[in-house]
Amino acid sequence: MICLGIEGTAHSIGVGIVRNNNGNCEVLSNLIKAYRPEKGGIHPREAANHHATNIADLIKESVKKSQIDFSDVDLVSFSSGPGLGPCLRTAATAARALSLSLKKPIIGVNHCVAHLEIGRGTLNDCNDPVLLYTSGANTQVIAFAEGKYRVFGETLDIGIGNCLDKFGRSVGLEFPSGPKIEKLAIKGKKYLELPYSIKGMDIAFSGLLTAAEQYYNNGEKLEDTCYSIQETTFAALTEITERAMAHTEKDEVLLGGGVAANNRLRDMVQTMASERNASFFVPSKDLCVDNGAMIAWLGVLMHNSGVRMKVENSYIDQRFRTDMVDVTWRD
């Protein structure tokens, strides 16, 4: 089975095509186009316009790059949430149009679950991981328990990526600021004490963000501030991930989301995993960030397990929670 997946929950629009190879995910193509606001944060309608402008060409390009014909596509999937309403609607509309014109089934999938399943589908020995999902808008610790993907811990305010981007914006770094903060942090030497807010397995960043901005405004070096932000937030993320692993008795950890590109975060989580004799997994960068291939792969899993959706029922849900998904494809 070949599935074409469309991802458009936030600032990027992605089209991926995957083939089911005896239960493993073979990625045939995975194209992403990101909307970059000229200044400030993402404006949902502008991002949606960007997606609408680019989606038709991306679909054509991805079919060409996969060296298949449109008639080879067996299934069309799209991310039905969570995300920004206008962006979700644009991606869903494209998926519906494609499904109708190709006369192939359509399926809407949960974006967060897709981040986890792409790891299981593409990485050898990654079978039952705890996912630390760190992106712009999302920060969640997710694992499979009692028939569902459950959120064991999550941010109580903003996502870690948003925290980094907001700090970056306030000190004049370009969007996205995560990679720039990573480079600056390497040169940081002095650790500045920042609020470390964990409640159970939940986490919060806004107090830390304000405190970090104050340090910088009071003359602390940008490098030291970036270093301290990373050390504090990543340690907290590693801690809640470890707690979820202990709680669920799982011995695999998987990273997902754009912030998983950060080497310091990878190092911390990997160290924690090795101390627990657990396996550490991180997909390639193009499969970590928001991408169409992960949406396509979850479409395959759901379709194979018997899930069917009519075009007229292919809704979007801006607040589609991870634990609302009926996991029909796992025992």
Of the candidate residues 10, 107, 114, 151, the single one contacting ligand ATP (CB under 6 A): 10
One-letter amino acid at 194 equals: L
Number of residues written out for the chain: 331
Query: How many residues belong to the site for Fe ion (CB under 5 A)?
Result: 2
- 259: exposed, middle or buried (Cβ count in 10 Å: 0-12, 13-18, 19+): buried
Beta carbon of residue 325, minimum distance to ligand ATP (angstroms, whole number)? 16
Of the candidate residues 81, 258, 283, 299, the single one contacting ligand ATP (CB under 6 A): 258
Distance separating alpha carbons of residues 138 and 154, to the nearest angstrom: 8
Of the candidate residues 66, 90, 177, 270, the single one contacting ligand ATP (CB under 6 A): 177
Question: Is 165 one of the binding residues for ligand ATP (CB under 6 A)?
Answer: yes
What are the backbone angles phi and psi of residue 214, rounded to the nearest 5°? -65, -45
Q: 113 vs 126, which CB is nearer to Fe ion?
A: 113
Question: Is 188 one of the binding residues for ligand ATP (CB under 6 A)?
Answer: no
Contact 109, 78 (CB under 8 A): yes
Q: Is the bond preceding residue 195 a cis peptide, omega within 30 degrees?
A: no
By a kind-dependent CB cut-off of 5 to 8 A, residue 77 interacts, out of Fe ion, ligand ATP, none, with none
* Radius of gyration, CA atoms only, the chain: 20
Question: Is 166 one of the binding residues for ligand ATP (CB under 6 A)?
Answer: no
Instruction: Note the helical H segments in the chain.
Output: 44-65, 85-102, 111-122, 160-170, 178-186, 206-217, 222-248, 263-275, 285-288, 292-304
Contact 45, 86 (CB under 8 A): yes
Q: Which of residues 283-302 bind Fe ion (CB under 5 A)?
A: 290
Region of 56-64, 90-98, 197-205, 256-264 interacting with ligand ATP (CB under 6 A): 256-264
Q: 168 vs 292, which CB is nearer to Fe ion?
A: 292
Which residues, 6 or more positions from 104, have their beta carbon under 8 angstroms from its beta carbon? Answer: 73, 74, 75, 76, 98
Question: Is 7 one of the binding residues for Fe ion (CB under 5 A)?
Answer: no
Region of 23-31, 116-124, 178-186, 314-322 interacting with ligand ATP (CB under 6 A): 178-186
Site string for ligand ATP, 40-69 (x = CB under 6 A): ------------------------------
Question: Is 154 one of the binding residues for Fe ion (CB under 5 A)?
Answer: no
- Angle of the 44-65 helix axis to the 85-102 helix axis, nearest 10: 30
Beta carbon of residue 236, minimum distance to ligand ATP (angstroms, whole number)? 15
Residues making contact with Fe ion (CB under 5 A): 135, 290
Residues making contact with ligand ATP (CB under 6 A): 9-11, 83, 135-138, 159, 161, 164-165, 176-179, 182, 257-259, 261-262, 289-290
